[in-house]
Each structure stands twice: as C-alpha cells, then as structure tokens.
Structure 1
C-alpha cells in the first residue's frame, strides 16, 4: 500500500490535472471579489438606503459576494471527487490504496488544504478591496470581531467544499450530487428559512450556520452566534465525510 505522503501527492496530481477543478477555484475568487466590490460600492453611494437601522456591518458587506462564491466552491468539491467516478479512475485509485478510508482521508486533506488556501486569499483580498470602496464607512481588522469574521468566512467556504466532497463520495455521481446540493443551498434552504413553521429547522442547515460566522454584530432574534455556527457547520462537514467513507467501504466502486 502506498504511504500517506504518496497518497497526498497522488491526490494533488489528480486535482491539478483536471482543468475544470482549477477553473472553479479561480471562479470562487473572481465571483466573491467582484460581487463583494460591487455591493460595497453600491452601499457607499447609497449608504442611507443600504445601512438600515442597526449598526452597519462593513465586514459582512464587503464579503457579501460569498453568497454566490459558494456555488463555485461547491462545484469544486463535487468535481474533485466525482471526476474519479465518472472517468473510472476510482478503480485504479482503490487498487493502489485498498484501505478506502485512508484514500478518502488523503483526498479530504488535500481538498481541505487547497480550499482553505484559496478561501483565505479570497476573503482577505475581498475584505480589503471592499473596505477601500466603502471609504468613510469602512472598518479594519483591528476592530472587535472583524478578524474573526474574515477568518470565519474562509473556514465556511472550506467546510462547504468538504461537505460537498463528502456528499459526492456518498452518491458516487457528480451529476446527482450537484442536482441535490445546488437546489438545497440556493432554493430549499432560503425558502424554508422564510417559512415560519419550519424556519427553526432551517436555522441548523450548514449554510445558515456558516453565515453566522461572517457577522461582526449579533442579530437580535437569532438562535445562536458565530461560535455555535462554526460547530454546527463543522458537524455537517464531518458527518458528510464520515458518510462518504462508510459508503466507500461498503459499496463497490
């Protein structure tokens, strides 16, 4: 069996050799930065209309592009795992690494490290560009909870990527995974969050929990804050990866 460093090297080679995965990471950066910059500029030029009654969250405003950047990082997580199944390469991988849990762990480590690196660069660049565009309404990393929110944004995108990878490993099909994940995050979750009788359940979905991590100021009426949001999002991520490992061990490739 290959050593774990060799598995990591192999997974890194697989990811960088598939052009679509690289493009989705680049798209995560471009979309998050572009939309965040646009909304920051619009907020500055229409501050009275956009600010609202409570304290103005300049950090959340500059990072608002994450709402669309999520889609690209989800696609990256799905493609990074699903390409092996669609191409049949998973059989070669399992022949080289019969211990399936070790194989998925290596894949998760590489995916997580790459997603974290890209997400960290993305959120910090987006934050600084957004603050520059907000002008006199801007904030700084030294202000209370601002650095935590920026780092939380990077952690959220990373966990979202790993969650998507875990779901894909469970389904063994990237088309099916995208067909479930995209409607869930961009249709079902927002709709349920607006329905009074079921919104309490939707508050514990990974996207809602993750976005609590981006807020500098706590919102009144919310069931929990950034710390609990991190733990809930982490629990979803670990559950998805554990489910993927279980299916990989029990089911033929």
Structure 2
C-alpha cells in the first residue's frame, strides 16, 4: 500500500473512533477553562503579592495553567491512537494490509501528530487570549518580548506530549499498561523529582519539565536552569525521538 493510502486509512481510523475525538475535545476545554480560572484568581491575588512574587509574575505562563490537566487528555489521545488496534485485534488486519511496518507506523504517527498540532496550537492561542482577558490590567500582549514564542511553544509542547505517548504505546501495545506508566510518570514521578532538592537536577531533564520551559516568559527569581526555552523543548524532542525509535524497533521485531 502506498504511503498516501496509508495516511488516508489512518485518518479514517482516527476520526471514526469516538474516544479519540472526545479526548481531543476534552484537552481543549480543560486547558482553556482551567487557564481562565487560574488567571482570574491570579488577578484577584496580585495586590496581596510580595515584591519577590511580583518580580516573577508571568501572565503568559499563568494562562497556560490548564495545560497541567490538558496534557493528560493528550496522553490519553496518544495512547488510544496506537493501542486501540491492539486491544481490538485489528492490528493483524492493518499489518497484513501494510506489511512495511515503518510505513504503517509513520502513517499513523504523522496523521495523529498533524491533528494534535492543529488542535494544540488553536488551544494554546485561545488559552492565552482568554487568560489575558481574565488578568485585566496585569495582562501581557502577544507582541511583548517572548510571548509569541511561548504561545506557539505551548502548542508544540502539547503536541510532543501526545507523540511521546504514541511512542510509548507502540512499545507497550496495551492501553492500560501505557496509561498506567505515563500518567504516574507525568503527574507523580516528575513532580516529586522536580521539587525535591536531592533530585531536582534530574527532574529538570524529564520531558514535561524541560518542555514546559518554552511557555515561560518571565523566569522565576534566582532561576538556575541550565537551558533556555528552546533548549528545554529540544530536550523534550529527544525524549520523543527515543520513544518513537524504541516503538519502531519493537514493532519491527515482534509479531502482531
């Protein structure tokens, strides 16, 4: 089967599965709604902040507060895109139709990545503009230094979260196992490693912590992170590449 046919086939699979559509919709709603809520709360608390907190006040990053939960939906989306076929047994049919496993995986990842990118960029811009509206006089402008980079970076960050999850799901094949590893990894292990002094240096190089740097415009006071916004996104991209390479290697070696 030609690559174009594989892409069309994968697009049909994604849009015909209700769970993937609902997960993307949930990512949009949660990210925007929570970002607006946190922005409104930050506006009301600004006058009571100390001088140190005001120095590190980052209106752009605050509007992305909802991504902490929105990325969970992107993790689920990434896992479902890959592992749905394993859980239903359709993977055997798919691989029989496309015996070139590299072409099969590329088509699936490419279609899902483009879809995730479009949704993520739209979500990031919406979260920014609506969040700034909630911040009132404390808002940032898209033309301010570093803001456009942060907003575009927010979309790239959510996309990379989804693609990383696709790579892990390709390796593990099981949706429950994939989610059982990815959810604690992002929402428990990464947080613990990042906020405990003894492991903080390690935590900084995990994909979510490194990648989220791209969304920061105002760095925290006394910040000593050894990389900048694009460097952090580059570290995250390396994690994604490693997951995809691992997924492809295992897909090529084993039976469906």
How high is the TM-score relative to the length of structure 2?
Answer: 0.96
**CA deviation vs aligned residue, 1:20-67 (integer Å, no higher than 9, x gap):** 110000000000000000011111112134681414211001111101
Do the aligned residues in 2 keep the contact of 1:218 with 1:225 (CA within 8 Å)?
no
Q: Which residue of structure 2 aligns with residue 212 of structure 1?
A: 213
What is the number of residues matched between the two proteins? Answer: 252
Q: For structure 2, which runs of at least 5 residues remain unmatched after alignment?
A: none
Distance 1:40 1:179 in 2: 31
| Residue correspondence of structure 1 range 41-190 to structure 2 within 5 A | 41-49=40-48, 52-190=53-191
Q: Tell me if 1:227 matches 2:230.
A: yes
Equivalent residue for 1:246, pick from 245, 249, 252 = 249
Q: Secondary structure at the match of 2:198?
A: coil
Contact residue 43 and residue 50 of structure 1 kept, 8 A: no
SS at structure 2 position matched to 1:126: helix
Distance of aligned partners of 1:50 and 1:18 in 2 relative to their CA distance in 1, 3 Å threshold: farther
**TM value normalised by structure 1:** 0.97
Q: Aligned with 1:221: secondary structure?
A: coil
Contact 2:211 2:234 in 1 (8 A): no
Q: Deviations over 1:150-185 (max 9, x none)?
A: 011100100110000000000011110000000000
RMSD: 1.1
**Paired residues for 1:188-199 under 5 Å:** 188-199=189-200
User: How far, CA to CA, are the matches of 2:182 and 2:229 in structure 1?
Assistant: 23
Contact 2:79 2:166 in 1 (8 A): yes
Q: Separation in 1 of the partners of 2:144 and 2:16?
A: 41
- Please list every run of at least 4 consecutive aligned residues from structure 1 whose deviation after the TM superposition is greater than 4 angstroms: none
Distance apart, 1:198 and its partner CA: 1.8
Once the two structures are superposed, residues 68-103 of structure 1 have per-residue CA deviations (whole angstroms, 9 ceiling, x without a partner) of 101000000001111010001111110011010111
Could you say if the C-alpha distance between residues 75 and 49 of structure 1 is closer, same or farther in structure 2, counting changes exceeding 3 Å? farther
CA contact (8 A) 1:44 1:133 kept: yes
Distance 1:251 1:175 in 2: 20
Q: Distance in 2 between matches of 1:215 and 1:80?
A: 30
Summarize the Cα distance change of 1:5–1:49 in structure 2 as closer, same or farther, 3 Å threshold: farther
Q: CA offset at residue 221 of structure 1?
A: 1.8
Match of 2:17 in 1: 18
3-state secondary structure, aligned to 1:11: helix
Compare 51-60 and 205-214 and name the one that shifted more. Answer: 51-60
Please, which runs of 5 or more residues in structure 1 have no aligned partner? none
